[in-house]
């Protein structure tokens, strides 16, 4: 038997045994190395779900993971024993209406690791050993296991930047500097943004935003009017990446956009009201950005090529046995940015 980290209910995490398995055709066995604790993992831990989605059975958490290939199923090509791989949690069915439209991130039958949306729940990847489809695995040799495990959130950021269109020379606002916000800063700069302003209400994460490349950081708790200079005339900024899910951040960010500016909404925390008069009069475009798919192998390659450095994100790591301390740390934004579990430690 091997160990996995289950959430049974709010504030009820337990290590449990899972039976080992062998890879079938087109699959690989992976000895897991690292797993990043995501905001969705914290929602299950803190609240037993989010919105209408509730836990109805014990579920293994985790979807930001990396590991080493320890077994190969029949017909697997392009992977070798000992390869470090980043494992995409995205497993679209490839046959539903949305998949056939070329939108696998909107798959109607998505099997996304650590999701209580369907029942039975989709079990996650915080486990010592994992059987995965070879198609989920991107070879990450040359990276550390910690870096490889950031491929999933980096993919979210890359997909969001692609939704924004041309970024060359643009003035950009990022609201919310958690892990996704920091990665959006890195991705927007790589895409050609000329100036990046970042806002948050926690000074320590703004320090990380500055290290990641933000030109200006604003603590909107200490200075609620900090964005006022960018809201003069009909606005002065081109693109807003809203990563907090907070209505006050969205509304404040929209006020800074010049005519035909773009809003890319990533933060998910419930419905928000929009200032429709501003949006209409300035001809603003609003786009959602949800998950990713094709961006995953790109995220790995960009890290391998040194084009994006995720080091500013990686603040803490804990052995799997210390999961309680790991989740307590991840819950404290004043202490941590990205907390990872170490498997096999």
pLDDT in tens, 97-125: 999 999 999 999 999 999 999 999 999 99
Q: Per residue in 53-104, pLDDT tens?
A: 899 999 999 999 999 999 999 999 999 999 999 999 999 999 999 999 999 9
Q: What does the block give as tokens for 115?
A: 């999701």
How high is the pLDDT of residue 133?
A: 97
What domains are defined for the chain? 2-150+310-342 (3.90.180.10), 155-288 (3.40.50.720)
Average pLDDT, the chain: 96
Q: Please give the average per-residue pLDDT across 128-142, as a whole number.
A: 97
Distances (CA, A) of 165 to 158, 193, 290: 11, 11, 15
305-339 pLDDT, tens digit per residue, is 999 999 999 999 999 999 999 999 999 988 999 99
Encoding tokens for residue 130? 């994992």
The pLDDT value recorded for residue 268 is: 85
> Quick check: 270 pLDDT over 80?
no
Angle between helices 179-190 and 203-212 (to 10 degrees): 20
For the full predicted model, state whether its pTM sits above 0.85.
Answer: yes
At 227-244, the pLDDT tens digits run: 999 999 999 999 999 999
Residue 52 has pLDDT above 90, yes or no: no
Q: What pLDDT was estimated at residue 51?
A: 81
Place of tokens 């084009």: 307
**CA atoms of 22 and 93, how far apart (whole Å):** 22
**b/e per residue, 269-294, with b = 16+ CB within 10 A?**
eeeeeeeeeebeebebeeeebebbbe
Residues whose CB is less than 8 angstroms from the CB of residue 191 and which lie 6 or more positions away in sequence, other chains included: 161, 167, 168
pLDDT number for residue 345: 64
């Amino acid at each position: 038997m091997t160990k996995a980290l289950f959430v049974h209910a709010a504030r009820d995490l337990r290590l449990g045994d899972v039976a080992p398995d062998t890879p079938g055709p087109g699959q690989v066995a992976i000895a897991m190395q690292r797993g990043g604790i995501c905001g969705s993992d914290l929602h299950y831990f803190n609240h037993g779900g989010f919105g209408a989605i509730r836990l109805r059975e014990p579920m293994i958490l985790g979807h930001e993971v990396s590991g080493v290939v320890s077994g190969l199923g029949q017909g697997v090509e392009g992977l070798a024993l000992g390869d470090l791989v980043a494992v995409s949690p995205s497993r679209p069915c490839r046959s539903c209406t949305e998949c056939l439209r070329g939108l696998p991130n909107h798959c109607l039958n998505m099997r996304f690791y650590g999701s209580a949306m369907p029942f039975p729940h989709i079990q996650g990847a915080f486990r010592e050993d994992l059987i995965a489809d070879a198609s989920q695995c991107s070879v990450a040799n040359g990276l550390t296991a910690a870096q490889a495990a950031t491929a999933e959130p980096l993919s979210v950021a890359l997909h969001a930047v692609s939704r924004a269109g041309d970024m060359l020379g643009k003035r950009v606002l990022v609201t919310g500097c958690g892990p996704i916000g920091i990665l959006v800063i890195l991705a927007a700069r790589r895409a050609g943004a000329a100036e990046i302003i970042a806002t948050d209400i926690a000074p320590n994460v703004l320090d990380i935003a500055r290290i990641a490349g933000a030109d200006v950081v604003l603590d909107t708790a200490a200075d609620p009017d900090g964005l006022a200079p960018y809201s003069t005339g009909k606005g002065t900024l081109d693109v807003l990446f809203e990563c907090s899910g907070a209505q006050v951040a969205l509304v404040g960010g929209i006020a800074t956009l010049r005519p035909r500016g773009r809003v890319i909404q990533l933060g998910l925390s419930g419905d928000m009201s929009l200032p429709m008069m501003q949006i209409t009069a300035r001809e603003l475009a609003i786009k959602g950005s949800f998950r990713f798919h094709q961006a995953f192998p790109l995220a790995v390659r960009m890290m391998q090529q040194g084009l994006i450095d995720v080091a500013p994100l990686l603040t803490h790591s804990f052995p799997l046995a210390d999961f309680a301390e790991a989740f307590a740390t991840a819950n404290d934004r004043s202490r941590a940015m990205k907390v990872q579990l170490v498997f096999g430690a």
